[in-house]
A = this chain, B = another copy of it.
Amino acid sequence: MSESKHWTLKSIAKQLGVSNATVSNAFNRPDQLSEKRRTEILAACKELGYFGPNKAAQSLRRGKFDTVALVLSDSIEYMVSDPVASRFMKGVAAVFEQHKINLLLFSGSADSVNSINDFVDGFICYGRPRNRLLAEQLKKIRKKVVTVDFNIHRSASVSIDNKAGAYEVAKLAIKSPNDHVAILGLRLLDTHLTCRVYDIHSMEIDTSVAHQRLQGYLDAISDTGVKLGDDRIWNIPESNSDFASIAAKEALNSVPRPNVFLCMSDLIALSLMREAIQQGIRIPEDIRVVGFDGIDEAARMLPALTTVYQHSEQKGRKAAEMFIADAHHAELLGYELSIGGSC
Protein backbone atom coordinates (compact mmCIF):
# COMPACT_ATOMS: atom_id res chain seq x y z
CA MET A 1 0.00 0.00 0.00
CA SER A 2 1.80 3.09 -1.25
CA GLU A 3 1.49 6.61 0.11
CA SER A 4 -1.92 7.33 -1.30
CA LYS A 5 -2.34 10.61 -3.09
CA HIS A 6 -4.81 13.23 -2.01
CA TRP A 7 -7.77 12.52 -4.19
CA THR A 8 -10.59 14.88 -5.04
CA LEU A 9 -13.78 14.10 -6.83
CA LYS A 10 -12.36 15.69 -9.94
CA SER A 11 -9.02 13.95 -9.91
CA ILE A 12 -10.52 10.58 -9.17
CA ALA A 13 -13.03 11.03 -11.99
CA LYS A 14 -10.26 11.81 -14.41
CA GLN A 15 -8.26 8.83 -13.17
CA LEU A 16 -11.23 6.55 -13.72
CA GLY A 17 -12.04 8.13 -17.06
CA VAL A 18 -15.56 9.16 -16.09
CA SER A 19 -17.16 12.52 -15.44
CA ASN A 20 -17.34 14.24 -12.07
CA ALA A 21 -21.07 13.91 -12.00
CA THR A 22 -20.84 10.17 -12.32
CA VAL A 23 -18.58 9.84 -9.34
CA SER A 24 -20.71 12.25 -7.34
CA ASN A 25 -23.80 10.29 -8.26
CA ALA A 26 -22.16 7.02 -7.37
CA PHE A 27 -21.74 8.31 -3.84
CA ASN A 28 -24.90 10.36 -3.42
CA ARG A 29 -27.59 9.29 -5.82
CA PRO A 30 -27.69 5.58 -6.52
CA ASP A 31 -30.71 5.98 -8.76
CA GLN A 32 -28.80 8.08 -11.26
CA LEU A 33 -26.65 5.27 -12.63
CA SER A 34 -26.67 1.53 -13.08
CA GLU A 35 -26.04 -0.59 -10.04
CA LYS A 36 -23.17 -2.26 -11.83
CA ARG A 37 -21.46 0.95 -12.79
CA ARG A 38 -21.96 2.27 -9.31
CA THR A 39 -20.35 -0.63 -7.49
CA GLU A 40 -17.51 -0.61 -9.98
CA ILE A 41 -16.80 3.03 -9.32
CA LEU A 42 -17.15 2.71 -5.57
CA ALA A 43 -14.78 -0.24 -5.56
CA ALA A 44 -12.26 1.58 -7.70
CA CYS A 45 -12.39 4.61 -5.39
CA LYS A 46 -11.87 2.49 -2.33
CA GLU A 47 -8.99 0.76 -4.03
CA LEU A 48 -7.32 4.05 -4.82
CA GLY A 49 -7.95 5.50 -1.39
CA TYR A 50 -10.73 7.98 -2.10
CA PHE A 51 -13.28 7.76 0.67
CA GLY A 52 -15.99 9.94 -0.74
CA PRO A 53 -16.70 13.59 -1.38
CA ASN A 54 -15.09 16.12 0.90
CA LYS A 55 -17.68 16.89 3.56
CA ALA A 56 -16.75 20.52 3.97
CA ALA A 57 -17.18 21.23 0.29
CA GLN A 58 -20.31 19.15 0.17
CA SER A 59 -21.78 21.06 3.07
CA LEU A 60 -20.88 24.42 1.63
CA ARG A 61 -22.58 23.49 -1.56
CA ARG A 62 -25.64 21.95 0.01
CA GLY A 63 -25.95 24.29 2.91
CA LYS A 64 -26.41 21.28 5.18
CA PHE A 65 -23.94 20.23 7.83
CA ASP A 66 -25.38 17.35 9.82
CA THR A 67 -24.04 19.09 12.85
CA VAL A 68 -25.98 20.75 15.64
CA ALA A 69 -24.58 23.12 18.21
CA LEU A 70 -25.47 22.43 21.79
CA VAL A 71 -25.35 25.84 23.41
CA LEU A 72 -24.90 25.43 27.13
CA SER A 73 -26.02 28.02 29.61
CA ASP A 74 -22.52 28.37 30.96
CA SER A 75 -19.00 27.52 29.95
CA ILE A 76 -18.50 24.03 28.63
CA GLU A 77 -16.00 23.51 31.34
CA TYR A 78 -18.57 24.00 34.00
CA MET A 79 -21.52 22.31 32.35
CA VAL A 80 -19.76 19.11 31.54
CA SER A 81 -19.35 18.26 35.20
CA ASP A 82 -22.88 19.10 36.19
CA PRO A 83 -24.81 15.87 36.64
CA VAL A 84 -28.09 17.31 35.44
CA ALA A 85 -26.58 18.83 32.31
CA SER A 86 -24.69 15.59 31.69
CA ARG A 87 -27.84 13.55 31.71
CA PHE A 88 -29.44 15.99 29.35
CA MET A 89 -26.51 15.75 27.00
CA LYS A 90 -26.73 12.02 27.23
CA GLY A 91 -30.27 12.12 25.92
CA VAL A 92 -29.39 14.48 23.11
CA ALA A 93 -26.36 12.44 22.15
CA ALA A 94 -28.30 9.20 22.05
CA VAL A 95 -30.77 10.53 19.50
CA PHE A 96 -28.25 12.37 17.40
CA GLU A 97 -25.87 9.44 17.32
CA GLN A 98 -28.65 7.37 15.87
CA HIS A 99 -29.33 9.97 13.21
CA LYS A 100 -25.65 10.49 12.48
CA ILE A 101 -25.80 14.09 13.52
CA ASN A 102 -22.67 15.54 15.04
CA LEU A 103 -22.70 17.45 18.25
CA LEU A 104 -20.75 20.67 18.61
CA LEU A 105 -20.44 21.93 22.16
CA PHE A 106 -20.72 25.65 22.57
CA SER A 107 -20.25 27.85 25.57
CA GLY A 108 -23.08 30.02 26.84
CA SER A 109 -20.60 32.63 27.93
CA ALA A 110 -19.26 33.21 24.43
CA ASP A 111 -20.04 36.57 22.90
CA SER A 112 -21.54 35.40 19.67
CA VAL A 113 -22.48 32.30 17.75
CA ASN A 114 -20.83 33.75 14.66
CA SER A 115 -17.90 31.41 14.86
CA ILE A 116 -20.10 28.34 14.49
CA ASN A 117 -23.29 29.59 12.90
CA ASP A 118 -21.99 28.77 9.43
CA PHE A 119 -21.07 25.23 10.42
CA VAL A 120 -24.29 23.96 11.90
CA ASP A 121 -27.85 23.24 10.92
CA GLY A 122 -29.15 24.82 14.08
CA PHE A 123 -29.01 25.09 17.84
CA ILE A 124 -30.23 23.38 20.93
CA CYS A 125 -29.92 25.75 23.83
CA TYR A 126 -29.81 24.22 27.28
CA GLY A 127 -30.85 26.98 29.62
CA ARG A 128 -30.72 30.67 28.95
CA PRO A 129 -27.12 31.50 28.06
CA ARG A 130 -25.35 33.37 30.81
CA ASN A 131 -24.22 35.91 28.27
CA ARG A 132 -27.19 38.11 27.47
CA LEU A 133 -25.78 39.11 24.08
CA LEU A 134 -25.84 35.48 23.07
CA ALA A 135 -29.43 35.13 24.15
CA GLU A 136 -30.39 38.17 22.10
CA GLN A 137 -28.54 36.85 19.09
CA LEU A 138 -30.31 33.52 19.31
CA LYS A 139 -33.61 35.27 18.81
CA LYS A 140 -32.54 36.54 15.42
CA ILE A 141 -30.95 33.36 14.16
CA ARG A 142 -32.29 32.18 10.84
CA LYS A 143 -31.76 28.53 11.67
CA LYS A 144 -33.59 25.91 13.65
CA VAL A 145 -33.51 26.58 17.36
CA VAL A 146 -34.83 24.46 20.20
CA THR A 147 -34.65 26.00 23.63
CA VAL A 148 -34.68 24.06 26.87
CA ASP A 149 -35.83 25.46 30.21
CA PHE A 150 -36.44 28.87 28.72
CA ASN A 151 -38.29 30.43 25.85
CA ILE A 152 -37.55 32.49 22.83
CA HIS A 153 -40.36 33.91 20.85
CA ARG A 154 -41.50 31.41 18.23
CA SER A 155 -38.83 28.75 18.69
CA ALA A 156 -39.60 25.25 19.85
CA SER A 157 -38.99 24.60 23.52
CA VAL A 158 -39.04 21.88 26.13
CA SER A 159 -39.19 22.28 29.87
CA ILE A 160 -40.98 21.15 32.98
CA ASP A 161 -43.42 22.94 35.23
CA ASN A 162 -40.83 24.22 37.67
CA LYS A 163 -43.25 26.28 39.63
CA ALA A 164 -45.58 23.37 40.31
CA GLY A 165 -42.68 21.08 41.22
CA ALA A 166 -41.23 23.62 43.59
CA TYR A 167 -44.63 24.21 45.13
CA GLU A 168 -45.23 20.52 45.77
CA VAL A 169 -41.87 19.77 47.27
CA ALA A 170 -42.04 22.85 49.47
CA LYS A 171 -45.42 21.74 50.73
CA LEU A 172 -43.82 18.47 51.75
CA ALA A 173 -41.11 20.23 53.70
CA ILE A 174 -43.19 22.80 55.50
CA LYS A 175 -45.17 21.20 58.29
CA SER A 176 -46.34 24.13 60.37
CA PRO A 177 -46.96 27.85 60.11
CA ASN A 178 -44.26 28.25 62.74
CA ASP A 179 -41.51 26.74 60.63
CA HIS A 180 -38.50 28.88 59.89
CA VAL A 181 -37.91 28.61 56.19
CA ALA A 182 -34.76 29.42 54.21
CA ILE A 183 -34.42 29.34 50.44
CA LEU A 184 -31.10 28.45 48.85
CA GLY A 185 -31.57 29.82 45.37
CA LEU A 186 -29.62 29.10 42.23
CA ARG A 187 -28.75 31.97 39.91
CA LEU A 188 -31.39 34.30 41.22
CA LEU A 189 -29.09 37.23 40.62
CA ASP A 190 -26.86 37.99 37.69
CA THR A 191 -23.68 37.79 39.71
CA HIS A 192 -20.86 35.40 40.51
CA LEU A 193 -21.27 35.88 44.22
CA THR A 194 -22.82 33.83 46.96
CA CYS A 195 -24.95 36.34 48.82
CA ARG A 196 -28.34 37.00 50.32
CA VAL A 197 -31.18 38.34 48.27
CA TYR A 198 -32.86 41.04 50.29
CA ASP A 199 -35.20 42.48 47.74
CA ILE A 200 -37.13 39.96 45.74
CA HIS A 201 -38.69 42.70 43.73
CA SER A 202 -35.34 43.87 42.46
CA MET A 203 -34.95 40.64 40.53
CA GLU A 204 -36.10 40.64 37.00
CA ILE A 205 -39.27 38.71 36.62
CA ASP A 206 -38.35 36.51 33.74
CA THR A 207 -39.07 33.04 32.56
CA SER A 208 -35.93 31.56 34.01
CA VAL A 209 -36.05 28.34 35.92
CA ALA A 210 -34.84 29.98 39.09
CA HIS A 211 -37.68 32.40 39.21
CA GLN A 212 -40.27 29.81 38.44
CA ARG A 213 -39.02 27.68 41.29
CA LEU A 214 -38.89 30.64 43.58
CA GLN A 215 -42.46 31.46 42.75
CA GLY A 216 -43.46 27.91 43.61
CA TYR A 217 -41.71 28.14 46.98
CA LEU A 218 -43.25 31.50 47.75
CA ASP A 219 -46.70 30.26 46.92
CA ALA A 220 -46.24 27.28 49.23
CA ILE A 221 -44.93 29.52 51.98
CA SER A 222 -47.83 31.84 51.62
CA ASP A 223 -50.36 28.98 51.46
CA THR A 224 -49.02 27.40 54.64
CA GLY A 225 -49.11 30.64 56.52
CA VAL A 226 -45.38 30.74 57.13
CA LYS A 227 -43.69 34.12 57.44
CA LEU A 228 -40.52 34.42 55.42
CA GLY A 229 -37.95 36.83 56.86
CA ASP A 230 -36.45 39.28 54.41
CA ASP A 231 -32.98 37.85 54.91
CA ARG A 232 -33.92 34.23 54.31
CA ILE A 233 -33.11 33.90 50.62
CA TRP A 234 -29.63 33.11 49.39
CA ASN A 235 -28.25 33.38 45.91
CA ILE A 236 -25.77 30.76 44.75
CA PRO A 237 -24.16 31.55 41.41
CA GLU A 238 -23.50 28.01 40.25
CA SER A 239 -24.72 24.59 41.23
CA ASN A 240 -21.50 23.30 42.71
CA SER A 241 -20.45 22.36 46.18
CA ASP A 242 -17.86 25.11 46.63
CA PHE A 243 -20.36 27.91 46.31
CA ALA A 244 -23.12 25.93 47.92
CA SER A 245 -21.24 25.12 51.10
CA ILE A 246 -20.58 28.80 51.73
CA ALA A 247 -24.27 29.56 51.58
CA ALA A 248 -25.00 26.41 53.57
CA LYS A 249 -22.75 27.50 56.43
CA GLU A 250 -24.17 30.97 56.42
CA ALA A 251 -27.73 29.74 56.46
CA LEU A 252 -27.12 27.12 59.16
CA ASN A 253 -25.47 29.70 61.37
CA SER A 254 -28.05 32.40 60.85
CA VAL A 255 -30.29 33.33 63.75
CA PRO A 256 -32.85 32.02 64.29
CA ARG A 257 -31.66 28.90 62.57
CA PRO A 258 -34.11 27.87 59.86
CA ASN A 259 -35.55 24.40 60.24
CA VAL A 260 -36.73 24.07 56.65
CA PHE A 261 -34.37 24.48 53.71
CA LEU A 262 -35.74 24.76 50.20
CA CYS A 263 -32.82 24.17 47.83
CA MET A 264 -33.02 24.88 44.13
CA SER A 265 -30.74 22.00 43.18
CA ASP A 266 -29.77 18.67 44.65
CA LEU A 267 -26.12 19.61 44.65
CA ILE A 268 -26.98 22.54 46.90
CA ALA A 269 -29.15 20.40 49.14
CA LEU A 270 -26.46 17.76 49.48
CA SER A 271 -23.86 20.37 50.40
CA LEU A 272 -26.20 21.67 53.03
CA MET A 273 -26.84 18.21 54.43
CA ARG A 274 -23.14 17.44 54.66
CA GLU A 275 -22.49 20.70 56.40
CA ALA A 276 -25.32 20.05 58.81
CA ILE A 277 -24.19 16.51 59.57
CA GLN A 278 -20.71 17.80 60.22
CA GLN A 279 -22.11 20.28 62.71
CA GLY A 280 -24.05 17.54 64.44
CA ILE A 281 -27.40 18.84 63.27
CA ARG A 282 -29.84 15.99 62.75
CA ILE A 283 -31.89 15.49 59.62
CA PRO A 284 -34.90 15.47 59.63
CA GLU A 285 -35.24 15.96 63.41
CA ASP A 286 -33.54 19.36 63.59
CA ILE A 287 -33.82 20.55 60.04
CA ARG A 288 -35.69 19.40 56.97
CA VAL A 289 -34.19 19.68 53.51
CA VAL A 290 -35.58 19.36 50.01
CA GLY A 291 -33.78 19.64 46.70
CA PHE A 292 -34.58 19.81 43.02
CA ASP A 293 -33.46 17.69 40.04
CA GLY A 294 -33.24 14.13 41.27
CA ILE A 295 -29.59 13.23 40.74
CA ASP A 296 -28.34 9.77 41.63
CA GLU A 297 -26.32 10.87 44.59
CA ALA A 298 -29.39 12.39 46.21
CA ALA A 299 -30.96 8.96 46.43
CA ARG A 300 -27.80 7.49 47.93
CA MET A 301 -27.45 10.13 50.62
CA LEU A 302 -28.30 9.15 54.17
CA PRO A 303 -31.00 10.13 54.74
CA ALA A 304 -32.08 10.13 51.11
CA LEU A 305 -32.95 13.57 49.83
CA THR A 306 -36.56 14.43 49.11
CA THR A 307 -36.53 16.13 45.77
CA VAL A 308 -38.27 16.81 42.47
CA TYR A 309 -37.05 14.28 39.98
CA GLN A 310 -36.92 15.56 36.46
CA HIS A 311 -36.35 13.30 33.50
CA SER A 312 -33.27 15.06 32.22
CA GLU A 313 -32.28 12.39 29.80
CA GLN A 314 -35.74 12.28 28.32
CA LYS A 315 -35.61 16.04 28.10
CA GLY A 316 -32.49 15.70 26.01
CA ARG A 317 -34.05 13.10 23.77
CA LYS A 318 -37.14 15.22 23.37
CA ALA A 319 -35.13 18.30 22.46
CA ALA A 320 -33.17 16.35 19.87
CA GLU A 321 -36.31 14.82 18.42
CA MET A 322 -38.01 18.17 18.22
CA PHE A 323 -34.99 19.56 16.45
CA ILE A 324 -35.03 16.78 13.91
CA ALA A 325 -38.77 17.05 13.38
CA ASP A 326 -38.47 20.83 13.06
CA ALA A 327 -41.15 21.22 15.70
CA HIS A 328 -42.39 24.64 16.68
CA HIS A 329 -44.41 24.04 19.78
CA ALA A 330 -43.59 24.16 23.47
CA GLU A 331 -43.36 20.80 25.18
CA LEU A 332 -43.95 20.44 28.90
CA LEU A 333 -42.46 17.32 30.46
CA GLY A 334 -43.61 15.74 33.68
CA TYR A 335 -41.69 15.44 36.94
CA GLU A 336 -41.92 13.20 39.96
CA LEU A 337 -41.64 13.77 43.65
CA SER A 338 -38.92 11.58 45.03
CA ILE A 339 -39.49 11.16 48.72
CA GLY A 340 -36.58 10.41 50.99
CA GLY A 341 -35.91 10.78 54.67
CA SER A 342 -34.70 14.36 54.56
CA CYS A 343 -38.09 15.81 55.41
Contacts and interface: CB of A to CB of B under 8 A. Distances in A.
A81 B55 CA distance: 30
Q: How many copies are assembled?
A: 2
Contacts of A57: 60, 118
A105 B119 contact: no
B67 A104 contact: yes
A54 interface: yes
A139 to B, nearest CB: 12
A53 to B, nearest CB: 9
A77 B104 contact: no
A118 B77 contact: no
Nearest to A58: B118
Contacts of A110: 97
Contact of A104 (B86, B103, B142): B103
Contacts of A76: 89-90, 93, 97, 103
A202 interface: no
A274 interface: yes
B75 A81 contact: no
A56 interface: yes
Contact of A118 (B55, B78, B90): B55
Contacts of A83: 81
Q: Which of A60, A100, A117 has the largest number of chain B CB atoms within 10 A?
A: A60
Interface string A99-117: 0101111110010101111
Contacts of A97: 75-77, 107, 110
A97 B116 CA distance: 13
Interface string A72-84: 0001111011010
A178 interface: no
Interface string A19-37: 0000000000000000000
Contact of A93 (B51, B105, B274): B105
Contacts of A54: 118
A56 B89 contact: no
21 contacts: A6-B142, A51-B114, A52-B114, A55-B114, A55-B116, A55-B119, A56-B56, A57-B60, A59-B119, A66-B115, A75-B97, A76-B90, A76-B103, A80-B86, A80-B93, A81-B90, A86-B86, A93-B107, A102-B115, A102-B119, A103-B105
